[in-house]
Amino acid sequence: MSNGILSTVIMVICYLVLAPFVGGLLAGLDRKFSARLQGRVGPPVLQPFYDVLKLREKEAITVNKVQDFYVLCFFLCMLLTGAFFFGGADLLLALFTLTLAGVFLVLAAYSSGSPYAQIGAERELLSMMAYEPMVLFSAIGFYLFAGSFSVSEILHTPGIAPIAYLPLVFLGFLYILPMKLRKSPFDLSTSHHAHQELVKGLSTEFSGSTLALMEVAHWYENVFLLGFIALFFAGSHWWTVLIAVIIAIVCYFLEVLVDNSAARMKWQFALKSAWFLALILGFVNLVVLYYL
């Protein structure tokens, strides 16, 4: 086995094994940081792990079997998304798999028949419509930077990091990141906090091991999103990767700060503002980069 294939296998295994621990730890720090911002002590940092283990012991009560199947597909697509990305494969393939995961989550909510879950599913679709243009512009920006959609080739492109060529695309991606993390001001479909008029939105009808699987899938998703942010700052040298990881974590907690200081916006504002910034920041940056 060549060194390239071996390193790819190692990165994929590391993602599959370590991502749920990193994602759960980030969720615990999120709760702790949010509690401190609100003048509370907050739960232990390991509380998300306790919650998932407790959910695993509970009986999974679902409306029908197809609901569990869609959640399983959502989980598997999240595994594939991160495996493609951290394995250095095609970035577009990873993003298309991420979108497919979101579609399965929406189908799972629709299949429950609950009015709260169905409204949450509709809002999740609106969120997807809002953030997908900016995500696509980000992928195109990386292609213009490296001449390839391959994550490994983007990382090993000589010269300075992609952020020097894609500053406006990065700002646009930061703007739509709360939609992917389901945080205020764009936690339209569901929320980790008890301030939704939709109860729990698209996850209302999930419980037990099914809800635990969904939560772990979100941990995988958060790790992938942090990796995507890090890609803007990473280069061929190991120390640039370290700096990129630190910046990605800082961006995550910046989103937590916004989540605790901003009110939830209407879906109309989310859609219009995301498309406007995608056109202004993303498109302008790509045009300038194309003619450089």
**Is pLDDT of 13 > 90?**
yes
Q: What pLDDT score does 3 carry?
A: 66
Of 262 and 97, more confident:
97
Q: What is the pLDDT of residue 280?
A: 92
pLDDT digits (tens, 9 = 90+) for 42-73: 889 999 999 999 988 887 677 777 888 999 99
Give the pLDDT confidence of 102-127 residue by residue, as tens digits. 999 999 888 887 788 888 888 889 99
Residue with structure tokens 């243009």? 133
The whole-angstrom separation of Cα 191 and Cα 110 is 17
- In sequence order, the β-bridge partners of residue 150 are 90
- With a CB cutoff of 8 Å and minimum separation 6, the contacts of 192 are 27, 30, 182, 183
In the structure encoding, which two tokens stand for residue 209, read together?
A: 């091991």
Other CB atoms within a 10 A radius of the CB of residue 183 amount to 23
Per residue in 222-272, pLDDT tens?
999 999 999 999 987 888 889 999 999 999 999 989 888 887 888 888 889
Three state DSSP letters for 55-109: HHHCCCCCCCHHHHHHHHHHHHHHHHHHHHHHCCCEHHHHHHHHHHHHHHHHHHH
Comparing C-alpha atoms, which of 55, 70, 150 is closest to residue 104?
70
pLDDT for res 193: 60
Average pLDDT over residues 91-110: 93
pLDDT tier, 28 (very low <50, low <70, confident <90, very high otherwise): very high
For residues 279, 189, 83, 24, the Cα torsion angle rounded to the nearest 10 degrees is 120
pLDDT at 199: 58
Query: Given this model, what pLDDT does residue 197 score?
Result: 47
- The pLDDT assigned to 21 comes to 95
> What DSSP character marks residue 265?
P
Q: What is the per-residue pLDDT across 121-179, written as a single tens digit (0 to 9) for each?
A: 888 899 999 999 999 999 999 999 999 999 999 998 888 899 999 999 999 999 999 98
What are φ and ψ of residue 291, in 5° steps?
Answer: -95, 0
Highest-pLDDT range among 84-88, 111-115, 192-196, 210-214: 84-88
Tens digit of each residue's pLDDT (9 = 90 or more) over 171-209: 999 999 998 888 888 887 776 665 544 456 777 778 888
Q: pTM of the entire structure? A: 0.92
Which residue, chain included where needed, has tokens 């942090």? 226
Helices (H) and strands (E) in the chain, counts: 11, 0
As a whole number of angstroms, the distance between CA 142 and CA 144 comes to 5
Return all residues near 223 (Cβ < 8 A) that are at least 6 apart.
15, 19, 22, 23, 26, 82
